[in-house]
Structure 1
Amino acid sequence: MTDKFEITLAGHDNREQIIDLMGKIYSGDMAARYNWLYAENPHGEASTWIAIERVSGEAVGCTSIFPRRVMVQGQERSGGIGGDCFIEPRVRRQGLATALHSMSFAQMRERGIDFMYGPPTPNNLGALVKAGSHLVTNYRRWVRPLTSRGAYRAAFSRVPTKGQAQLASIPIMVLDRLTKSDSKGFTLEEVSAFGDEFDAMFERSVREHGVVCSRDSQYLTWRYLEAPAHRQTPLAVRRKGELVGFIALERAGEFAAIADLFSAPNPKLIDAILQLVIEYALAAGCSILETSSTQESAFSRRLRRHGFIGREERGFQVAVQDADSHVDVLIDAQSWHFTEA
Structure 2
Amino acid sequence: MTVKCREANLERDREEILHFLREHLPVHSDEKRFEWLYLQNPAGPARVWLAAGASGRIIGVEAASPRPVWFDGAPRRAWVLTDLCIAPDSRSLGPALGLQRTCLSGLSASGEALWYDFPSRSMMAVWRRLGVRPAGSQARFVRLTRIDSKVQGYIPNRLLAGAISKVGNLAINYSRASTRRLRDYEIVHYNGQFGEEFTELDSRTSTHYPVRGRRTAEFLNWRYRRNPIENYQVVVAKRGSELAGYAALAVLETEWTIADLHPLEETGVVSGLLGCLHELSRRSNVERLTAPVIDGSLLAFHLTRAGFLRRESSPVIASARNWFLTHGDRDS
Q: What's the TM-score once normalised by structure 1's chain length?
A: 0.86
**Residue of structure 1 equivalent to 2:323:** 336
Equivalent residue runs for 1:186-335 within 5 Å: 186-264=186-264, 266-318=266-318, 320=319, 330-331=320-321, 335=322
Equivalent-residue separation in structure 1 for 2:297 and 2:36 (angstroms): 29
**Residue of structure 1 equivalent to 2:61:** 62
Q: Provide the aligned length of Structure 1 versus Structure 2.
A: 322
C-alpha distance 42-129 of structure 1, shift in aligned 2 (>3 A): farther
Q: What SS does the corresponding residue of 1:179 show, helix, strand or coil?
A: coil
Q: Give 1:183 shift.
A: 2.3
Q: Contact (CA 8 Å) 1:209, 1:265: kept in 2 or not?
A: no
Q: Contact (CA 8 Å) 2:244, 2:265: kept in 1 or not?
A: no
- 1:6 counterpart letter in structure 2: K
C-alpha distance 162-5 of structure 1, shift in aligned 2 (>3 A): same
More deviation, 164-173/297-306: 164-173
**Residue of structure 1 equivalent to 2:103:** 104
Task: State the superposition RMSD in angstroms.
Answer: 2.5
Q: Give 1:288 shift.
A: 1.3
Q: Contact (CA 8 Å) 2:49, 2:103: kept in 1 or not?
A: yes
Equivalent-residue separation in structure 2 for 1:32 and 1:18 (angstroms): 14
Q: Contact (CA 8 Å) 2:137, 2:295: kept in 1 or not?
A: yes
Equivalent-residue separation in structure 2 for 1:166 and 1:272 (angstroms): 26
**Residue of structure 1 equivalent to 2:21:** 22
Equivalent-residue separation in structure 2 for 1:266 and 1:204 (angstroms): 13
Equivalent-residue separation in structure 2 for 1:117 and 1:137 (angstroms): 11
Structure 2's unaligned 5+ residue stretches are none
C-alpha distance 110-208 of structure 1, shift in aligned 2 (>3 A): same
Equivalent-residue separation in structure 2 for 1:44 and 1:303 (angstroms): 33
- 2:282 counterpart letter in structure 1: L
More deviation, 139-148/257-266: 257-266
Could you list the per-position Cα deviations for residues 58-96 of structure 1 after superposition, in whole angstroms to 9, with x for gaps in the alignment?
111011111111101101122111110001111112422
- 1:62 counterpart letter in structure 2: V
Equivalent-residue separation in structure 1 for 2:260 and 2:43 (angstroms): 18
Equivalent residue runs for 1:46-61 within 5 Å: 46-55=46-55, 57-61=56-60
Q: What SS does the corresponding residue of 1:135 show, helix, strand or coil?
A: coil
Q: Contact (CA 8 Å) 1:265, 1:299: kept in 2 or not?
A: no
Q: Contact (CA 8 Å) 2:179, 2:274: kept in 1 or not?
A: no
Find runs of 4+ consecutive structure 1 residues off by over 6 angstroms.
none
- 1:298 counterpart letter in structure 2: L
C-alpha distance 174-192 of structure 1, shift in aligned 2 (>3 A): closer
Equivalent-residue separation in structure 1 for 2:123 and 2:282 (angstroms): 36
Equivalent-residue separation in structure 1 for 2:250 and 2:68 (angstroms): 24
Could you list the per-position Cα deviations for residues 179-219 of structure 1 after superposition, in whole angstroms to 9, with x for gaps in the alignment?
33342223122131121111111101122222110111111
Equivalent-residue separation in structure 2 for 1:118 and 1:241 (angstroms): 38
Task: Name the % identity.
Answer: 22
Q: Contact (CA 8 Å) 1:267, 1:298: kept in 2 or not?
A: no
Q: Contact (CA 8 Å) 2:21, 2:29: kept in 1 or not?
A: no
C-alpha distance 179-108 of structure 1, shift in aligned 2 (>3 A): same
C-alpha distance 311-274 of structure 1, shift in aligned 2 (>3 A): same
Q: Give 1:124 shift.
A: 1.2
Equivalent-residue separation in structure 1 for 2:104 and 2:265 (angstroms): 31
Equivalent-residue separation in structure 2 for 1:229 and 1:65 (angstroms): 18
**Residue of structure 2 equivalent to 1:7:** 5
C-alpha distance 262-299 of structure 1, shift in aligned 2 (>3 A): same
Equivalent residue runs for 1:130-141 within 5 Å: 130-141=129-140
Equivalent-residue separation in structure 1 for 2:166 and 2:61 (angstroms): 50
Q: Contact (CA 8 Å) 1:297, 1:336: kept in 2 or not?
A: no
Q: Contact (CA 8 Å) 2:7, 2:50: kept in 1 or not?
A: yes
Q: In the alignment, does 2:171 pair up with 1:171? A: yes
Could you list the per-position Cα deviations for residues 285-331 of structure 1 after superposition, in whole angstroms to 9, with x for gaps in the alignment?
3231111111121111111111111112110110x3xxxxxxxxx32
Q: What SS does the corresponding residue of 2:122 show, helix, strand or coil?
A: helix
C-alpha distance 183-151 of structure 1, shift in aligned 2 (>3 A): farther
Equivalent-residue separation in structure 2 for 1:193 and 1:94 (angstroms): 44
C-alpha distance 171-151 of structure 1, shift in aligned 2 (>3 A): farther
C-alpha distance 137-230 of structure 1, shift in aligned 2 (>3 A): closer
Q: What SS does the corresponding residue of 1:134 show, helix, strand or coil?
A: coil
Equivalent-residue separation in structure 2 for 1:288 and 1:253 (angstroms): 10
